[in-house]
Amino acid sequence: MSQITLRGIDPEIEQKIRQMAKERKQSLNVVLNEIILQKFRKGKRKPGADTLKSLAGGWSAQEASEFMKAIEPCEEIDEGMWS
Q: Which of 41, 12, 17, 46 is nearest to 29 (CA)?
A: 17
Query: 75: domain range?
Result: 11-82
For residue 3, being part of any structural domain is answered with no
**Average pLDDT by stretches of 10, the chain with 83 residues:** 86 94 91 89 63 69 90 85 77
CA distance linking residue 39 with residue 33, whole number of Å: 10
What pLDDT is attached to residue 60?
80
pTM for the model: 0.48
CA distance linking residue 27 with residue 42, whole number of Å: 23
For residue 43, being part of any structural domain is answered with yes
CA distances 63 to 47, 53, 76, 80, Å, are 21, 14, 21, 33
What pLDDT is attached to residue 2?
81
**Secondary structure class of 55 (helix, strand, coil):** helix
For residue 18, being part of any structural domain is answered with yes
> Could you give the number of structural domains in the chain?
1
